[in-house]
Amino acid sequence: MVVKNICCIGAGYVGGPTMAVIAYKCPGIKVTVVDVNEARVKSWNDKDVSNIPIYEPGLEDIIAEVRGRNLFFSTDVEKAIDEAEMIFISVNTPTKTYGLGKGKAADLKYIELCARQIASVAKTDKIVVEKSTLPVRTAEAIKSILDNTGNGVKFQILSNPEFLAEGTAVQDLLNPDRVLIGGGNDEGGTIAINALADVYASWVDRHKILTTNVWSSELSKLTANAFLAQRVSSINAMSELCEKTGADVNEVAMAIGMDSRIGSKFLKASVGFGGSCFQKDILNLVYIAKSYGLNEVADYWEQVVIMNDHQKRRFASNIIKTLYNTVSGKKIVFLGWAFKKDTNDTRESAAIYVADDLLNEQANIAVYDPKVSEPKILNDLDYLGTRSETENRKGVEVYSDPYEACKDAYAIAVLTEWDEFKSYDWGKIYKNMRKPAFVFDGRNILDGEMLKSIGFVFQSIGK
């Protein structure tokens, strides 16, 4: 089977970049990304590619080359479904905030809506690809909907989880460690797997394209994120012990990272992991384990999230303690709001929760982030529901100039590891701050000795 038309439902952080790269590498395939969010689709179609809704290094250049050639963004979901031989589902699967599994289970309502819409529209056989991060055995539910509410059309369900890191998503797509495709082991399943494998084989070596059953593929995604998050929480747990004992967490990380059995990745102490995947996927894993009565397994993985939350609270507490146990009325600057550099994604960013704790102590928060807008920052705080929208706007001011943000501040907290922060004129910043002037490096990216030589009181995680 040769795929000529692909539809992707969902124009978010996964669907947009993934489909752009597929269109870029497969000029013979028409790729249509659809979304019911008209404003988002309009942004993807903006003539100025710098205004596309997602910031990823290299993405603008690819969009500029393929948009209108064989990549299209539309709100006409039914037309795209009807024309496609292969449909990717790439919608949001947030943690449930209601009912059974509240706070841990994945909310699959958007997945179900997609499946029902595909079933009602499709008139020819389709390959449906799970691209969203889903709990194990979701494909079974999707297939049940498609087989029982459709028009007699035959569907094949594949699991093709993404293993993208925001900030390097384009390079991760162009040069993946592996591409994982899970499908059925019958003749139809094999044909579907091969069809998707052929798409990726346009630029990915065949030996990097792994095939499994659907359940293994679904669970592999959750497992990968759980393992990576566990490493972050492990080194953060050690960072607190380092502070008490006089050890340096960076030196400890370097020492253990040189062990080939461990490796150096995800061993950078920080104020905590964020993003849309780690916490959501671990809590999903916890829920799945508990649903099978595996309470010890669930407790083990839940501790990773507990440690992550502790690290955020500890960072805020350290700021308060260092500033003489009161931050009331004091201007504290946040350099960075995104959960990591090279992305405008703020989901579960540590900055949100540190700001929340400091606002509870009546601090005045000044924020500068090169890629995150003021409405997004304020919406993140409003979503927590800790304070009214009026109170959040009174306590938070967003700046477009980092030097103006730092003027008359008592302290600076580095919450995102943007490279530009390293190149600032810190002497100029120090001159215009209140004295003593404090810097709290939550990402371990600044030169502490240099800052101390200027006159700053400098503190970082794990020292």
> Which residues contact residue 164 at a Cβ distance below 8 angstroms, ignoring those fewer than 6 apart?
14, 17, 18, 172, 173
Q: What is the pLDDT of residue 365?
A: 98
Can you tell me the distance from the alpha carbon of 192 to that of 129, in angstroms, rounded to the nearest whole number?
A: 10
CB 416 within 8 A of CB 341: yes
pLDDT in tens, the chain (463 residues): 899 999 999 999 999 999 999 999 999 999 999 999 999 999 999 999 999 999 999 999 999 999 999 999 999 999 999 999 999 999 888 888 889 888 887 788 888 899 899 999 999 999 999 987 665 667 777 888 888 766 788 999 999 999 999 999 999 999 999 999 999 999 999 999 999 999 999 999 999 999 999 889 988 988 999 999 999 999 999 999 999 999 999 999 999 999 999 999 999 999 999 998 899 999 989 998 999 999 999 999 999 999 999 999 999 999 999 999 999 999 999 999 999 999 999 999 999 999 999 999 999 999 999 999 999 999 999 999 999 999 999 999 999 999 999 999 999 999 999 999 999 999 999 999 999 999 999 999 999 999 999 999 999 999 8
446: buried, middle or exposed (CB in 10 Å: 19+, 13-18, 0-12)? buried
Tokens 């009546």 belong to which residue?
Answer: 362
Can you tell me the distance from the alpha carbon of 88 to that of 81, in angstroms, rounded to the nearest whole number?
A: 10
Can you tell me the distance from the alpha carbon of 321 to that of 362, in angstroms, rounded to the nearest whole number?
A: 14
- Short-list 419, 423, 378, 414, CA closest to 398: 378
Can you tell me the distance from the alpha carbon of 27 to that of 335, in angstroms, rounded to the nearest whole number?
A: 41
Strand (E) or helix (H) holding 296: helix 295-322
3-state helix, strand, coil in the chain (%, to 5): 45, 15, 40
What is residue 15's three-state secondary structure? helix
Both tokens assigned to 95: 């943690």
Can you tell me the distance from the alpha carbon of 225 to that of 77, in angstroms, rounded to the nearest whole number?
A: 31
Can you tell me the distance from the alpha carbon of 341 to that of 270, in angstroms, rounded to the nearest whole number?
A: 13
On whether the pTM is more than 0.75, the answer is yes
242 is catalytic: no
- Out of 7, 8, 26, 277, the active site residue is 277
Cα-Cα-Cα-Cα torsion 261, 267, 273, 277, nearest 10 degrees, comes to -30
Single-letter amino acid code for the residue at 171: Q
Q: Across the beta sheet with 5-9, what order do the strands follow? A: 71-74, 30-34, 5-9, 86-89, 126-130, 155-159, 179-182, 209-212
What is residue 397's three-state secondary structure? strand
